[in-house]
Amino acid sequence: MFVADLRHFLDIPDEAPGPARKMAEQLGFVVRAATAREAGAPWVSALTCRRRPANRPCAGHIAVFRADLPVPIEWRCTACGDEGVISGWEDSLYDLRQPRSSSDEEPRHETLLTDEVATTLRELMFLDMECERLVFQMHSSSEGAVLTASAEELDELLGFIAANANHETNRRRQKRFDAAFDILTKVLEAVESADTFTTVVAMADQAKETHRADGDFTGRWRILEMDLWDRDALDLVAPAFIEFSPDQTGEFGFIVVTGWIDWRRAGTGRSGVEFSWEGTDEGDQVSGRGWAELHNDRVLHGHLYFHLGDDSGFRAERTLS
């Protein structure tokens, strides 16, 4: 069990190790979720587990419990059983305990979102407390994350998403904000046209079509060979991999290189995917491009290029689901 005092994780300096910053972020998320709803009953939030058993993302979500009195918040992963308690959260910037506004009287609607969209909403900056509570009240279901909101609350949330997208300099994050904005705009239109309580399923149509068209490529691939480096070097820090997500983003990692991908289907007359990427190499900023082609359902061949640097072919196999 992980026992934490939130006060020790506040104001983490920029030079702190990455794992410490990630832990501080996750603890803040758990406190927001636990204080966004009324106390006294456990519930499963839309927060995904941060652990990676066997070097694969855990499929679980974080269940939280907060008693009526200010006592440590309890949390537990629904899949891997990772658990902990958090004290020192009262009156911190993550404490969302506040009476709701008059918008409580408006009809509220349930919207089914993907975990990716839910994660994007949690990354929004400068939310007011009402919208922050809205985001962290999302709970997990068997089909995705469920957002419960009135038309007025959705409209306010859309304003924050648009502001974040307009000021975001990272192209990958900006694309995610834009996609979330498009999805919730459709939700708001559906909510405003509904006369009674309704459930709006907001899995992005475009993302669905992309997944159907490119399903052979989406998922995580284990990099087994590269032209310039041997297997031991590739797995120096962690098993080498490349991953393509249905929303046309992705990531890869090998040796000490980490990259974030923006991919597209190859041009007319060609098969496979093409992508640009940006990332780090031993802490230095790097970028480049690449391509990949599917030789059969489980083998991916491609080439990775560093801008003004090395390039290398690679072979990867699909990891087990």
Q: Which of 164, 182, 203 is the last residue of a domain?
A: 203
Model pLDDT, residue 99:
57
Cα 9 from Cα 7, distance rounded (Å): 5
| Same-domain pairing of 77 and 113 | no
Task: Decide if 22 contacts 49 (C-beta within 8 A).
Answer: no
- What's the DSSP call for residue 281? E
Residue 208 placed within a domain:
no
Domain range for 49 is 1-96
| Same-domain pairing of 2 and 87 | yes
Cα 21 from Cα 12, distance rounded (Å): 7
Q: Which of 178, 203, 228 is the last residue of a domain?
A: 203
Model pLDDT, residue 271:
63
| Same-domain pairing of 90 and 12 | yes
| Same-domain pairing of 195 and 262 | no
* Count of Cβ atoms closer than 10 Å to residue 11 Cβ: 7
Burial of 93 (0-12, 13-18, 19+ CB in 10 A): exposed
Model pLDDT, residue 155:
92
Please provide the size of the chain in residues: 321
Residue 68 placed within a domain:
yes
| Same-domain pairing of 11 and 74 | yes
Model pLDDT, residue 21:
85
Task: Decide if 177 contacts 185 (C-beta within 8 A).
Answer: no
| Same-domain pairing of 161 and 236 | no
Residue 26 placed within a domain:
yes
Residue 209 placed within a domain:
no
Model pLDDT, residue 186:
86
Residue 168 placed within a domain:
yes
Please list the pLDDT of the chain residue by residue as tens digits (321 residues). 899 999 998 888 878 887 888 899 999 999 999 999 989 999 999 999 988 877 777 889 999 999 987 789 999 999 998 999 999 999 888 999 875 454 456 778 888 888 888 989 998 988 888 899 999 999 998 778 899 988 899 999 999 999 999 888 887 788 889 988 988 988 888 878 764 444 455 444 444 444 444 446 788 899 999 999 888 889 888 899 999 887 788 899 999 999 999 988 776 445 688 999 999 998 889 999 999 988 766 788 999 999 988 899 999 998 754
Tokens of 221: 């691939």
**Residue 259 belongs to domain with CATH number:** 2.40.128.20
Counting the structural domains of the chain, the total is: 3
